[in-house]
Amino acid sequence: MKGHLTAKADVFAFGVVTLETVAGRLNTDNSLEESKIYLLEWVWSLYEKKQVLGIVDPRLKAFNPKEAMRVIHVALLCTQGSPHQ
């Protein structure tokens, strides 16, 4: 295995797994429309449009929007920048 694991890589991975959990999908899904294939890119684009709750798994019938926003925000903070920096 090349590369080195760092605390930043662990934090980044935590953010990705958290977003996967909230969205109910994997980080990459080639079956989706182009703008949604890569979870991180899709979430950041929705965040910039102030529509980030749009990533919440539609199978969740009821959820607290404030709590969901907090979880998504933490995950986005974890995924800022490159995991290798």
Pairwise pLDDT comparison (54 vs 85), residue with the higher score:
54
The 10s digit of each residue's pLDDT in 15-54 is 999 999 999 999 999 999 999 999 999 999 999 999 999 9
Q: Which of 50, 55, 67 is nearest to 24 (CA)?
A: 55
The pTM is what? 0.86
Mean per-residue pLDDT over the chain, rounded: 91
Question: What confidence score (pLDDT) does residue 3 get?
Answer: 63
- Sorted by where each begins, the domain ranges of the chain are 7-78
Neighbours of 36 (CB within 10 A): 17
Q: Which of 74, 84, 66, 80 is nearest to 21 (CA)?
A: 74
The distance in angstroms from the start CA to the end CA of the chain is 18
Q: How confident is the model at residue 1 (pLDDT cuts 50, 70, 90)?
A: very low
The phi, psi pair for 38, rounded to 5°, reads -100, 115
**Residue 28, strand partner residues:** 38
Question: What confidence score (pLDDT) does residue 85 get?
Answer: 52
Pairwise pLDDT comparison (3 vs 27), residue with the higher score:
27
